[in-house]
Amino acid sequence: MKIKKIFKQIRNNYVIEQVKKINIPDFEADKTIRYHIVFSGRVQHVGFRLEIEQLALRMKLTGWIRNLENGNVEMEIQGMKNKIGFLLDFMNSLKRIKINKMDKDIKALLNQEQEFRIL
């Protein structure tokens, strides 16, 4: 196995274990919303997509996330507005990730979507 793959697997295992330890509060019912968000900053090669995916799955949010060629990360996420706010605040609190800018637009809801995934 190449050293790069070994380090990626170690990082991924770390991220997954950290997400399992997050104390997710009980959320009151809130408006369901869908956002399209583009993140810029130190958001690639740091476990950003995996962390969001794992946290979104735990919180029963739906959508997708992917890397862009320019170094940004693009995401669509759907669920209760307060849950999405919690996820975004949490991601902003991480030291290994540096979100410099977050462009956020409201999108139409997708009722057939079942899960959150990395594209």
Catalytic residues: 49, 67
Phi, psi (deg, nearest 5) at residue 12: -60, -45
- Please, which residues bridge with residue 107 across strands? 34
Closest CA to 22 of 61, 65, 64, 52: 52
Place of tokens 């959150």: 116
Q: What share of the chain is helix, strand, coil (3-state, %, to 5)?
A: 35, 30, 30
